Protein backbone atom coordinates (compact mmCIF):
# COMPACT_ATOMS: atom_id res chain seq x y z
CA UNK A 1 0.00 0.00 0.00
CA UNK A 2 1.55 3.35 -1.07
CA UNK A 3 1.61 6.41 1.17
CA UNK A 4 -1.06 7.98 -1.01
CA UNK A 5 -3.23 4.86 -0.62
CA UNK A 6 -2.86 5.08 3.17
CA UNK A 7 -3.78 8.79 3.12
CA UNK A 8 -6.80 8.01 0.92
CA UNK A 9 -7.84 5.37 3.46
CA UNK A 10 -7.39 7.76 6.41
CA UNK A 11 -9.42 10.49 4.67
CA UNK A 12 -12.24 8.08 3.75
CA UNK A 13 -12.60 7.12 7.44
CA UNK A 14 -12.50 10.71 8.79
CA UNK A 15 -15.28 13.21 9.42
CA UNK A 16 -13.41 15.78 11.48
CA UNK A 17 -10.22 16.44 9.53
CA UNK A 18 -8.21 19.49 10.55
CA UNK A 19 -5.64 20.79 8.10
CA UNK A 20 -2.66 22.72 9.49
CA UNK A 21 -0.72 24.50 6.75
CA UNK A 22 2.04 26.95 5.93
CA UNK A 23 3.61 28.78 3.02
CA UNK A 24 4.30 25.53 1.18
CA UNK A 25 0.55 25.23 0.51
CA UNK A 26 0.68 28.37 -1.67
CA UNK A 27 3.90 27.76 -3.62
CA UNK A 28 1.93 25.86 -6.31
CA UNK A 29 -0.08 29.09 -6.69
CA UNK A 30 3.16 30.93 -7.48
CA UNK A 31 3.86 32.43 -4.03
CA UNK A 32 7.38 31.91 -2.66
CA UNK A 33 7.63 30.35 0.77
CA UNK A 34 10.01 31.72 3.40
CA UNK A 35 12.74 29.21 4.29
CA UNK A 36 13.20 27.04 1.19
CA UNK A 37 16.30 27.66 -0.90
CA UNK A 38 14.18 29.83 -3.21
CA UNK A 39 12.16 31.27 -0.32
CA UNK A 40 11.78 34.90 0.64
CA UNK A 41 14.24 34.67 3.54
CA UNK A 42 16.91 33.09 1.35
CA UNK A 43 17.13 36.13 -0.95
CA UNK A 44 19.81 38.80 -0.31
CA UNK A 45 18.64 41.98 1.43
CA UNK A 46 20.51 44.78 3.25
CA UNK A 47 17.94 44.37 6.07
CA UNK A 48 16.73 40.82 6.87
CA UNK A 49 13.02 40.32 5.96
CA UNK A 50 12.30 39.10 9.51
CA UNK A 51 13.47 42.56 10.67
CA UNK A 52 11.41 44.42 8.07
CA UNK A 53 8.29 42.40 8.94
CA UNK A 54 8.45 43.42 12.60
CA UNK A 55 6.37 45.77 14.75
CA UNK A 56 9.41 47.95 15.54
CA UNK A 57 10.41 48.34 11.89
CA UNK A 58 6.81 49.08 10.82
CA UNK A 59 6.69 52.13 13.10
CA UNK A 60 10.33 53.22 12.72
CA UNK A 61 10.66 52.79 8.92
CA UNK A 62 7.07 52.80 7.69
CA UNK A 63 7.85 53.80 4.10
CA UNK A 64 10.53 51.08 3.74
CA UNK A 65 8.14 48.55 5.31
CA UNK A 66 5.48 49.26 2.66
CA UNK A 67 8.03 49.18 -0.18
CA UNK A 68 9.00 45.63 0.85
CA UNK A 69 5.42 44.63 1.71
CA UNK A 70 3.91 45.71 -1.64
CA UNK A 71 6.74 44.08 -3.58
CA UNK A 72 7.13 40.82 -1.67
CA UNK A 73 3.95 40.08 0.28
CA UNK A 74 1.03 40.91 -2.05
CA UNK A 75 -0.01 38.54 -4.88
CA UNK A 76 -3.38 39.87 -6.13
CA UNK A 77 -3.29 37.61 -9.22
CA UNK A 78 -2.66 34.38 -7.26
CA UNK A 79 -5.31 31.65 -7.61
CA UNK A 80 -6.08 28.75 -5.25
CA UNK A 81 -4.35 25.49 -6.25
CA UNK A 82 -5.45 21.84 -5.95
CA UNK A 83 -4.57 21.77 -2.25
CA UNK A 84 -6.86 24.70 -1.41
CA UNK A 85 -9.63 23.34 -3.66
CA UNK A 86 -9.50 19.81 -2.23
CA UNK A 87 -9.74 21.10 1.34
CA UNK A 88 -12.73 23.30 0.47
CA UNK A 89 -14.44 20.26 -1.14
CA UNK A 90 -13.80 18.12 1.95
CA UNK A 91 -15.40 20.84 4.11
CA UNK A 92 -18.46 20.92 1.82
CA UNK A 93 -18.63 17.10 2.03
CA UNK A 94 -18.62 17.31 5.83
CA UNK A 95 -15.24 15.59 6.12
CA UNK A 96 -13.12 18.58 7.18
CA UNK A 97 -13.95 20.71 10.22
CA UNK A 98 -11.33 23.48 9.89
CA UNK A 99 -8.28 24.82 8.16
CA UNK A 100 -5.63 26.29 10.47
CA UNK A 101 -3.18 28.29 8.40
CA UNK A 102 -0.08 30.39 8.99
CA UNK A 103 -0.61 31.97 5.57
CA UNK A 104 -1.95 35.50 5.10
CA UNK A 105 -2.87 35.20 1.39
CA UNK A 106 -6.60 34.41 1.72
CA UNK A 107 -6.34 31.57 -0.84
CA UNK A 108 -8.22 29.05 1.33
CA UNK A 109 -11.28 31.33 1.43
CA UNK A 110 -10.85 32.09 -2.28
CA UNK A 111 -11.12 28.30 -2.86
CA UNK A 112 -14.38 28.19 -0.88
CA UNK A 113 -13.19 27.19 2.61
CA UNK A 114 -15.38 28.76 5.30
CA UNK A 115 -13.90 27.70 8.66
CA UNK A 116 -10.37 29.04 8.39
CA UNK A 117 -8.26 30.06 11.38
CA UNK A 118 -5.68 32.54 10.08
CA UNK A 119 -3.08 32.44 12.86
CA UNK A 120 -1.01 35.23 11.28
CA UNK A 121 -3.92 37.33 9.97
CA UNK A 122 -4.61 38.29 6.37
CA UNK A 123 -3.37 40.84 3.81
CA UNK A 124 -7.02 41.24 2.78
CA UNK A 125 -7.86 43.02 6.04
CA UNK A 126 -6.30 46.39 6.95
CA UNK A 127 -7.21 49.13 9.43
CA UNK A 128 -6.28 52.68 10.34
CA UNK A 129 -4.06 52.69 13.45
CA UNK A 130 -5.61 56.02 14.50
CA UNK A 131 -9.38 55.72 14.00
CA UNK A 132 -9.71 51.96 13.35
CA UNK A 133 -11.43 52.38 9.96
CA UNK A 134 -11.22 49.08 8.00
CA UNK A 135 -9.75 49.00 4.49
CA UNK A 136 -9.51 46.31 1.75
CA UNK A 137 -6.14 45.29 0.29
CA UNK A 138 -6.82 47.63 -2.66
CA UNK A 139 -6.10 50.55 -0.31
CA UNK A 140 -2.51 49.26 -0.18
CA UNK A 141 -2.26 48.05 -3.80
CA UNK A 142 -3.65 51.28 -5.28
CA UNK A 143 -1.45 53.64 -3.29
CA UNK A 144 2.24 54.42 -3.08
CA UNK A 145 4.40 55.28 -0.09
CA UNK A 146 2.66 55.10 3.29
CA UNK A 147 -1.10 54.40 2.81
CA UNK A 148 -3.12 56.96 4.77
CA UNK A 149 -6.67 56.93 6.10
CA UNK A 150 -8.98 59.88 5.50
CA UNK A 151 -8.29 60.88 9.10
CA UNK A 152 -4.56 61.03 8.35
CA UNK A 153 -3.69 57.86 10.26
CA UNK A 154 -1.54 55.08 8.76
CA UNK A 155 -3.40 52.07 7.30
CA UNK A 156 -1.82 48.93 8.80
CA UNK A 157 -2.29 45.40 7.40
CA UNK A 158 -4.03 42.96 9.78
CA UNK A 159 -1.07 40.57 9.66
CA UNK A 160 0.85 39.45 12.75
CA UNK A 161 4.27 41.07 12.51
CA UNK A 162 7.25 39.77 14.45
CA UNK A 163 7.06 41.01 18.08
CA UNK A 164 3.23 41.01 17.87
CA UNK A 165 0.90 38.52 19.56
CA UNK A 166 -1.62 36.25 17.83
CA UNK A 167 -5.35 36.91 18.11
CA UNK A 168 -6.65 35.05 21.20
CA UNK A 169 -10.01 34.18 19.59
CA UNK A 170 -8.31 32.70 16.51
CA UNK A 171 -5.84 30.76 18.67
CA UNK A 172 -8.57 29.32 20.90
CA UNK A 173 -10.70 28.34 17.91
CA UNK A 174 -7.75 26.61 16.27
CA UNK A 175 -6.87 24.73 19.48
CA UNK A 176 -10.48 23.54 19.94
CA UNK A 177 -10.64 22.30 16.35
CA UNK A 178 -7.31 20.46 16.66
CA UNK A 179 -8.35 18.89 20.00
CA UNK A 180 -11.48 17.42 18.37
CA UNK A 181 -9.86 16.33 15.10
CA UNK A 182 -9.95 12.66 14.04
CA UNK A 183 -7.19 13.28 11.47
CA UNK A 184 -4.58 16.05 11.65
CA UNK A 185 -3.13 16.75 8.21
CA UNK A 186 -0.04 18.99 8.41
CA UNK A 187 1.43 20.29 5.14
CA UNK A 188 3.72 22.86 3.58
CA UNK A 189 5.33 24.14 6.75
CA UNK A 190 8.80 23.96 8.26
CA UNK A 191 7.17 23.93 11.73
CA UNK A 192 9.80 26.38 12.98
CA UNK A 193 7.66 29.34 14.08
CA UNK A 194 5.89 29.45 17.46
CA UNK A 195 3.30 29.61 18.87
CA UNK A 196 1.81 28.33 15.57
CA UNK A 197 3.86 25.12 15.40
CA UNK A 198 3.15 24.45 19.08
CA UNK A 199 -0.57 23.98 18.39
CA UNK A 200 0.09 20.48 17.09
CA UNK A 201 0.55 19.27 20.68
CA UNK A 202 -3.21 19.70 21.22
CA UNK A 203 -3.97 16.87 18.80
CA UNK A 204 -5.02 13.72 20.65
CA UNK A 205 -3.26 10.85 18.88
CA UNK A 206 -5.82 8.40 20.30
CA UNK A 207 -8.46 10.05 18.07
CA UNK A 208 -6.60 9.37 14.84
CA UNK A 209 -3.43 9.71 12.77
CA UNK A 210 -1.14 12.69 12.28
CA UNK A 211 -0.14 12.93 8.60
CA UNK A 212 2.69 15.18 7.41
CA UNK A 213 3.11 16.22 3.77
CA UNK A 214 6.19 18.36 3.17
CA UNK A 215 8.76 18.80 0.41
CA UNK A 216 11.70 19.15 2.85
CA UNK A 217 12.45 17.47 6.18
CA UNK A 218 10.90 18.90 9.36
CA UNK A 219 11.39 18.26 13.09
CA UNK A 220 8.02 16.48 13.10
CA UNK A 221 8.95 13.85 10.49
CA UNK A 222 9.72 11.06 12.96
CA UNK A 223 6.55 11.47 15.00
CA UNK A 224 4.11 11.50 12.07
CA UNK A 225 1.96 8.37 11.62
CA UNK A 226 2.34 8.90 7.87
CA UNK A 227 5.00 11.05 6.19
CA UNK A 228 4.69 11.97 2.51
CA UNK A 229 7.64 13.75 0.91
CA UNK A 230 6.26 15.78 -2.01
CA UNK A 231 4.07 18.62 -3.26
CA UNK A 232 0.85 18.93 -1.28
CA UNK A 233 -1.24 20.14 -4.25
CA UNK A 234 -0.19 17.20 -6.40
CA UNK A 235 -0.68 14.67 -3.58
CA UNK A 236 -4.17 15.89 -2.60
CA UNK A 237 -5.21 16.13 -6.26
CA UNK A 238 -4.26 12.46 -6.72
CA UNK A 239 -6.43 11.16 -3.84
Q: Does 122 bind ligand APR (CB under 6 A)?
A: no
- What is 72-115 written as a DSSP string? HT--TT----HHHHHHHHHHHTT-EEEEEE---S-HHHHTT--S
Query: Mask: binding to ligand APR, 72-111, rule CB under 6 A, as x and -?
Result: ------------------------------x---------
Q: How far apart are CA 43 and CA 136, in angstroms?
A: 29
* Least gap, CB of 190 to ligand APR (angstroms): 3
Q: Does 39 bind ligand APR (CB under 6 A)?
A: yes
Nearer to ligand APR (CB atom), residue 113 or residue 190? 190
Task: Let me know the angle formed at the C-alpha of 107 by 147 and 15, rounded to the nearest 5 degrees.
Answer: 140
Nearer to ligand APR (CB atom), residue 148 or residue 237? 237
Q: Does 193 bind ligand APR (CB under 6 A)?
A: yes
Query: Mask: binding to ligand APR, 210-239, rule CB under 6 A, as x and -?
Result: ---xxxx--------------xxx------
Among the listed residues 71, 67, 61, the one whose alpha carbon sits nearest the alpha carbon of residue 40:
71
Phi, psi (5° rounding) for residue 130?
A: -95, -55
With beta carbons less than 8 A apart as the criterion, state whether 32 and 236 touch.
no
Residue 61 annotated to the active site: no
Catalytic site residues?
120
Amino acid sequence: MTGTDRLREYVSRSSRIVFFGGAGVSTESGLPDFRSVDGLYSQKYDVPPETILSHTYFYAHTEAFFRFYREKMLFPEAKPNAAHLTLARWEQEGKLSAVVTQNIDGLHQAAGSRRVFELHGSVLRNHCVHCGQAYPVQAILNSTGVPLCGCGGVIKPDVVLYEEGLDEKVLNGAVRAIEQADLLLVAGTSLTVYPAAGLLRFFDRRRGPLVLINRDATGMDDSADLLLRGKVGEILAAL
